[in-house]
Structure 1
Amino acid sequence: MAQQVIGADPAGVLDGCRVLPVLTVPDPRTAGPLADALAAGGARCAEVTFRTPDAARVLTTMAAHGGLVVGAGTVLTAAQAERAVRAGARFVVSPGLDEEVVGRCRALGVPVVPGVATATELMRALAAGLDTVKLFPAEPLGGIALLRALAAPFPGTRFVPTGGIGLDRMADYLSHPAVLAVGGSWMATPGHLERGDFAGIRRLTAEAVERSAP
C-alpha cells in the first residue's frame, strides 16, 4: 500500500525542498545508491520521471529511503498517476495540465503540480483550484523574465520552474518570492548513473543545496 498523504498542498509536502532533483533512472539497481547519494548531499526531495519502463520500481526503492520525499514526474494519465501513488509517490508532477490527472490525484489525496507554459494554461489551473504549477520548459520559454511576467497578474500562485535550468541559473529563480522550488536534472544525469558516479551526484547535490539556502 502507498503511503497516504494528508492534504493536497504541494508546499506542505515539499517543505524546505528548494531544489528538486529530477531523475530519469533506466536501471532500478541504481535507485538505492542514488537515494543514498542525494540524501548525503543534503537533498530532501526527489522526482522520479515516468520515462522508463521500471520507473515504478525505482520510485518504490527510493521512497523507502527515510531521508527523501519522493514523487513521480512526467505523469501523463490518470492511470499513470494511480500507479505512481501505489509505488509510493508522495506528490505528482506533470509536464502539462490534464484535468483527469488532477482529479485522480485529488481523489488519492496526493498533491499534484501540473505544467503550464502560458497565461491561459495558468488560468485553467487556477480555475481548477490549484495554486502551485510547474513552469515548463522554463528556460526555452523565456526563463526568469517569463516567470516574472506570469507571477505579476496572478498573485498567490507558486511556481516550480523546470527545464533547461542549471546551477548557474538556479539562484535567479529562487530569488523570486513566487518560486517554491527549482527542478533540475543536472545533479544526477543518466550519464552519472551509467558510470556509477554517485560521488559526483553527492557533490553536485551538496553544491545545489548550499547555494539554494535563503
Structure 2
Amino acid sequence: MTTLERPQPLLSMAEKTARIDAICAAARILPVITIAREQDILPLADALAAGGIRTLEVTLRSQHGLKAIEVLREQRPELCIGAGTVLDRGMFNAVQAAGAQFVVTPGITADILAAGVESDIALLPGISTPSEIMQGYALGYRRFKLFPAEISGGVAAIKAFGGPFGDIRFCPTGGVNPGNVRNYMALNNVMCVGGTWMLDSSWIKNGDWNRITECSAEALALFD
C-alpha cells in the first residue's frame, strides 16, 4: 500500500469536541428543520440565512431529509449543514454519504456512539439522564444534546448536571422558546440551543419566507 492509499487517522474525540464547540458557538441556535416538500429546501435555507441563522440541523423525520442535505451541501456551501434525528448506524452512514458536517441524535445506543467514535463527523448525542452522560463520557464524548429539554428538567437539570459533570456542555432542545431561551443561555454549561419557533409550519406551507427571516433575526437578537 502506498502512502497515498493509506487511510488517514481519525480525528481524536478532543478534536471532534472542539469541532462541535465551533459549530455551536457560530450557531447559537440550531433550527430543527423537517422538510415536507422538496421545493422548500432552498428557499427555507435562504430565509433562515437572511435572518442570520446559517447552521442548520436537517432532520430525517421526512423522506426529503437526505435529499435536503445533499442539495444544501452542493448549492449552499457557505452554510453549515448537519443531520438530525439520526437513529442508527445505517442512518449515520447515509447522512455521512450525503455530506452532513455534523450529526445530532435524539438519544443514544452503544452502536450509534461507536459510529461517532469511528467517524470524522462530529456527533452530538442526545441524552436525558446522568447514566446516559456517563455512557458517552466513557467513550470520550463531552458535548451532548439534552432532549427533550423542558420535560427532562430544563434549566434546573442542566444546573444540577454541572456538579458531577464539570467539563460537559449541552445543547438543550425541546420546549426551548423565546420565553425561556435566555435562562438556558445564561448557564455556563450551555453552548447553544435547538429550536423550531422560527419555523412555523404555516409560514413554510404558504411560502412566507420574509416572516421566517424576521423571526430568525429576532431569535438571534435574544442573545445580544
Give me the TM-score of the superposition, normalised by structure 2: 0.88
Alignment match, 1:98: 109
Deviation, 1:190, is 2.7
Which residue of 71, 77, 83 maps to 1:66? 77
Is the CA contact (8 Å cut-off) linking 2:55 and 2:79 kept in structure 1? yes
Larger deviation, residues 130-139 vs 62-71: 62-71
Please give the alpha-carbon distance, in whole angstroms, between the structure 2 residues aligned to 1:16 and 1:119. 27
Please give the alpha-carbon distance, in whole angstroms, between the structure 2 residues aligned to 1:14 and 1:82. 22
Deviation, 1:120, is 1.0
Which structure 1 segments of 5+ residues have no match? none
Distance 1:48 1:77, change over 3 A: same
Aligned residue-pair number? 209
The one-letter code matched in structure 1 to 2:66 is A
Please give the alpha-carbon distance, in whole angstroms, between the structure 2 residues aligned to 1:189 and 1:122. 32
Deviation, 1:174, is 0.7
Please give the alpha-carbon distance, in whole angstroms, between the structure 2 residues aligned to 1:117 and 1:111. 20
Deviation, 1:163, is 0.3
Q: Does 1:32 align with 2:63?
A: no
Deviation, 1:152, is 2.0
Larger Rg: 2
The one-letter code matched in structure 2 to 1:68 is L
Is the CA contact (8 Å cut-off) linking 2:54 and 2:80 kept in structure 1? yes
Q: 1:19-50: CA deviations, max 9, x gaps?
A: 11111111121010011111100013110111
Please give the alpha-carbon distance, in whole angstroms, between the structure 1 residues aligned to 2:153 and 2:118. 34
Deviation, 1:59, is 1.5
Alignment match, 2:100: 89
Is the CA contact (8 Å cut-off) linking 1:26 and 1:190 kept in structure 2? no
Is the CA contact (8 Å cut-off) linking 1:21 and 1:47 kept in structure 2? yes
Larger deviation, residues 111-120 vs 58-67: 58-67
Q: 1:147-201: CA deviations, max 9, x gaps?
A: 1111222001010000011111111111111111100011113332111111111
Q: 1:41-91: CA deviations, max 9, x gaps?
A: 001311011100111011122233133211000100111011111112100
The one-letter code matched in structure 2 to 1:169 is N
Superposition pairs for residues 21-60 of structure 1, below 5 Å?
21-60=31-70
> After the TM superposition, which parts of structure 1 deviate over 4 Å for at least 4 consecutive aligned residues?
none
Alignment match, 1:131: 142
Give me the TM-score of the superposition, normalised by structure 1: 0.92
Superposition pairs for residues 165-180 of structure 1, below 5 Å?
165-180=176-191
Deviation, 1:137, is 0.3
Larger RCO, structure (CA 8 Å, separation 6 or more): 1
Distance 1:89 1:189, change over 3 A: farther
SS at 2:40 equivalent: helix
Alignment match, 2:171: 160
Q: Does 1:13 align with 2:8?
A: no
Larger deviation, residues 129-138 vs 84-93: 84-93
SS at 1:167 equivalent: coil
Larger deviation, residues 147-156 vs 128-137: 147-156
Which structure 2 segments of 5+ residues have no match? 1-9
Please give the alpha-carbon distance, in whole angstroms, between the structure 2 residues aligned to 1:35 and 1:67. 11
Alignment match, 1:183: 194
Please give the alpha-carbon distance, in whole angstroms, between the structure 1 residues aligned to 2:160 and 2:48. 33
Please give the alpha-carbon distance, in whole angstroms, between the structure 1 residues aligned to 2:69 and 2:200. 16
Please give the alpha-carbon distance, in whole angstroms, between the structure 2 residues aligned to 1:121 and 1:105. 15
Superposition pairs for residues 135-154 of structure 1, below 5 Å?
135-154=146-165
Please give the alpha-carbon distance, in whole angstroms, between the structure 2 residues aligned to 1:191 and 1:84. 27
